[in-house]
Structure formats: structure tokens, C-alpha cells
Amino acid sequence: MSKAIVIGAGVIGSSIALELSRNGDDVIVIDKGAGAGQGSTSASSAIIRFNYSTLDSIALAWESYHCWKNWREHLGVELTSYSQLFDVGVLMLDAPEIAKERIADLYTQAKIPFELWDKETLAMKLPHLDPGKYGPPKSISDEEFWEDSTDSLGALFTPQGGYVNDPLLAAENLADAALSRGAQFRFKSVVTKVMQKGNRIIGVEINGSEKITADVVVNACGPWSSEINKMAGVGSEFTISVRPMRQEVHQVNAPLNLLPGPIMGDLDLGIYMRGTPNGGLLVGGTEPECDPLEWVDNVDKVNMNRTQERFEAQVTRAARRLPALQIPNTPLGIVGVYDVASDWTPIYDRTDLDGFYVAIGTSGNQFKNAPMVGKILCQLISEVEAGRNHDVEPVRVHCGHTGNEINMGAFSRKRQFNSESSGTVMG
């Protein structure tokens, strides 16, 4: 049994805390917020899809889907309320970044059911949708944005997948399950120093004074992850860098005939969309080249007000695809911050400081994987602390629901840049 500190009680840190507690470790979770999930997790669109650019990421998402589907069993504890998966299916409209044939091949390898829809099938199945090809995405102030489509799109459809209705509650569920297994949570506590002796972690300092010792420390600080890495003196040896990025997700009323439609990835127009249980529609962006990226230097100083400009850009694109959509005058929605890895693939790994682990670079796309991230981090920590040289012989994790195997080398801090990455939130 080892003593572990998890910094960050978001959906990722809470899941890691649950699995370490299940493993019999003595776990303390430290978070500067007032409760679990109040960081970037609370802003999440909580979409559960499977398309990523590598087989290991796809296997991770597919296995995690089964955890969401069997959420009570996954948590293993009776709670008063549970977050819920809305299994409405996922539609990825044709776009070069989606690499449909390649993803279909990876889905086949991971044993994920899917359908390839040609133009006629898409038009027949979703008659409320304008199937026109407009891409590459353009600014709405560009006259070309308003030009007629040049062709029609097909799509890649998975009947499974969808969204979790309440990402904050999902993190709370994981934290409550960890609590029931003996984990302790220290809220309103800021980690101010990472303590080490030689090349070994020995604990953290909180609020500038109190010292808590540990054998293992995990950085699960979401967009604040780089600050903690700096305190630990790690990061310069990584081949993959991470950086926070501001994002807006907008909400509008959806025409009734759209619901409960599938989640829609529309990289042809540069957006994604999903319904909400109360008849709304969320519209997020997929980093189209025509839009400036909003990199952030200080996460605590981000403008958390949605802007008219972003709102109009994203919702007008949505209305192009869904002509019945009304565009309100007043922006509604939320602002959140991604922790973007240079290849949009997370880092789940040890570091060169012994006993210091990272679950970072979640790139706006790892909510869905949180249930399994707890498990893969737990196995990684157990094996590395037992002497495994993970950098040379990467840990491999068996997926209990799907039978797949995840090679954790795919999430290494020292991996080769993932050249198959879409360069967007799709991973």
C-alpha cells in the first residue's frame, strides 16, 4: 500500500482517486475549488464518441463508453443521484480531418459497430439537415461562406455513443465513490509547492505552509497542469507540450424535429452539435483554420463571458446545417479552457521525477475517457512503482468490457508526435 496524492478533483483526478483507493492505496485528493468537478470539467459538453486518430485512443473511448453505460456498476456504490448517458448515436459528417476510411478500419479493429452513410443515405435519414458540402470552413464575414454548396456529404455513423447529461455530477459521482473507498478530499486547498528529495517525490505543500507527504503524486490539474509541472521541475524532457486554450460552447433552442438526434461532428463547417435533455442544442467549435485560436497565459484570468462574435460564428454555422434553427440575439452558453497537447492527444504517463505522474493534455476531448483513465493510471503507477521500465517496455492494459488492449506508450510524454492527429479537438 502506498500513500498517493492526486492534485485536482476534476473528472480525471476523481477517477484516478477511485481506482487508487480500490487498489488499496491511501489517497488524498487536493483541489483549490470548493468541490469535485468545478474546474474545466463543469464546462464540458460531455460528448461520448469514439473517433480518434489512433487505435489506442479509440480503444480507450470504446471501453470507457461501457463504463458510462454501466455507470452504477462502475462506481460500485449507492448514491442519491447519478449522471446519465444519453445513448443517441454519433454522426461524423464527411471532412478531410475525419479520415472516414481510416477510422472505419480502426473501428473494425476495435470491434466498434459503425455504418458508412453515402450522400443518399444521409439525405434520407436526416431530412431536416442540409447535407451540402461547404468546406473548408470559412468566417461568416467571408462572402464565400454564403455561397451555395458544391456537393453533398456522407457520414460515418455509430449507433452507440452520445453524451452525459451532467459532467459536474459525473465528477461528483466518482469522488463520492472514491470517498466511500476511503479516499480523503481536501477542497479549497491550493498546491503551492511540489516537494522532492533527490530525484524522488516526497509530497506537496498546500496553501503556502502545510506539508503533506506521499510516495506518489499525480498531476490531474487540467488546464493548470503546466503550473504544477513547473513546480515539479518536469516538462522540458517531454516531446509533447501542453498549453491552455479558451473555448466557448453556445446553447440555443432546437427545433423539435431535431431531437433526440445523434451527436454531430461537422468539420465541414467547423462545429459540433448535440441536443440537451431539455430541448436545447449545444454548439461548439472544432478549431477551423479561419478562426483565431485563443491561447491562454493565465487560466485564472480568462474572460469567462461568452462573446457576441464567437456566438454568431458558431450558431450561424449551425443554422447553415440546420436551416430551421433560429439564431437568438443574446449569446447563451459557457466558456471553458482546454489543456491542449501539441498533437491533441493526452499524456498519461510517469515523469523523469520518480513517483510523479501526469494525466494532462486532455485537449478538450478526454471527459469521455475519464472512467478508464483512472484504471490505466492506476495500473501504470502500480507497475512502475514495482520497477517496470515503462519508457522502454510500455504498460499494456486489458479492457474488461471490450476485450481490447491499450498500449500506454501511445500516451507517453516522450512519444513521437502523433502525425495522424486531426490537429483539432477530435484528437
Ligand X SMILES: Cc1cc2nc3c(=O)[nH]c(=O)nc-3n(C[C@H](O)[C@H](O)[C@H](O)COP(=O)(O)OP(=O)(O)OC[C@H]3O[C@@H](n4cnc5c(N)ncnc54)[C@H](O)[C@@H]3O)c2cc1C
- Of 131 and 163, CB closest to ligand X: 163
Nearer to ligand X, 130 or 227 (CB): 227
| Cα–Cα distance, 65 to 60 (Å, whole number) | 9
| Position 218 contacts ligand X (CB under 6 A) | no
* Segment interacting with ligand X (CB under 6 A) among 29-37, 145-153, 154-162, 207-215: 29-37
Nearer to ligand X, 158 or 366 (CB): 366
Nearer to ligand X, 131 or 336 (CB): 336
* Binding flag, residue 126, ligand X (CB under 6 A): no
Distance from the Cα of residue 267 to its chain's centroid: 18
**Binding segment toward ligand X, per CB under 6 A, in 65-73, 101-109, 331-339, 383-391:** 331-339
CB of 148 to ligand X, least distance (A): 31
- Residue 247 touches ligand X, criterion: CB under 6 A: yes
In the complex with ligand X, the residue whose CB is nearer, 257 or 307, is 307
Under the criterion CB under 6 A, does residue 162 sit at the interface with ligand X? no
Q: Mind giving me the DSSP string for 153-182? A: --EEEESS-EEES-HHHHHHHHHHHHHHTT
CB 74, min distance to ligand X, A: 16
At its nearest, how many Å lie between ligand X and the CB of residue 399?
18
Q: Which residue is nearest to ligand X (CB)?
A: 10
How big is the site for ligand X, counted in residues (CB under 6 A)? Answer: 38
Contact set for ligand X, span 36-75 (CB under 6 A): 38-41, 43-47
CB of 98 to ligand X, least distance (A): 16
* Cβ atoms of 395 and 388 closer than 8 Å: yes
Pair 6, 30: CB distance under 8 Å: yes
Provide the mask over 172-211, with x wherever binding to ligand X is found by CB under 6 A and - wherever it is not. ------------------xx--------------------
* Least Å from the CB of residue 207 to ligand X: 9
13 binds ligand X (CB under 6 A): yes
Phi/psi region, residue 239 (left: phi>0; alpha: psi -120 to 50; beta: rest), is: alpha
Of 192, 227, 376, 196, give the one whose Cα is nearest residue 300. 227
Written in H, E and C, the secondary structure of 45-62 is: CCEECCCCCCHHHHHHHH
418 binds ligand X (CB under 6 A): no
Cα 346 to Cα 380: distance, rounded to the nearest angstrom: 15
Told to check if 219 binds ligand X by CB under 6 A, we report no
- Decide: is 255 part of the binding site for ligand X (CB under 6 A): no
Q: What is the spatial distance between Cα 4 and Cα 203, in angstroms, rounded to a whole number?
A: 9
Q: What is the DSSP string of 70-86?
A: THHHHHTS--S----EE
Q: Shortest Cβ distance from residue 256 to ligand X (Å)? A: 23
250 near ligand X, judged by CB under 6 A: no
Q: What is the DSSP string of 239-286?
A: SS-EEEEEEEEEEEEPPGGGTTPPEEEETTTTEEEEE-TTSEEEEEE-
Cell 431530412 belongs to which residue?
127
Contact 156, 106 (CB under 8 A): no
Choose between 51 and 362: whose C-beta lies nearer to ligand X.
Answer: 362
Question: Which amino acid, one-letter code, is at 379?
Answer: Q
| Residue 131 or 371 with smaller CB distance to ligand X | 371
Task: Return d(Cα 180, Cα 317) in angstroms, integer.
Answer: 45
Residues from 333 through 362 that contact ligand X (CB under 6 A): 336-338, 362
Q: What are the CA-CA distances from residue 252 to residues 168, 322, 326, 333 (Å)?
A: 21, 12, 8, 8
Q: Is 83 in the site for ligand X (CB under 6 A)?
A: no
Among 135, 222, 361, 394, binds ligand X (CB under 6 A): 222
d(CA 181, CA 20): 9
> Interacting stretch for ligand X, rule CB under 6 A, among 78-86, 219-227, 306-314, 401-409?
219-227
Bridge partners (DSSP) listed for residue 243: 340
**Is residue 31 a contact residue for ligand X (CB under 6 A)?**
yes
| Beta strands 26-30 and 3-7, pairing class | parallel
Nearer to ligand X, 40 or 412 (CB): 40
Take residue 241 and report the three cell numbers written for it. Answer: 507540450
Task: Find the shortest distance in angstroms from Cβ 58 to ligand X.
Answer: 13
| Residue from the set 6, 9, 17, 129 that interacts with ligand X by CB under 6 A | 9
Q: Which of 4, 5, 6, 10 binds ligand X (CB under 6 A)?
A: 10
- Chain residues that interact with ligand X, rule: CB under 6 A: 7-13, 30-33, 38-41, 43-47, 190-191, 220-224, 247, 249, 336-338, 362, 364-368
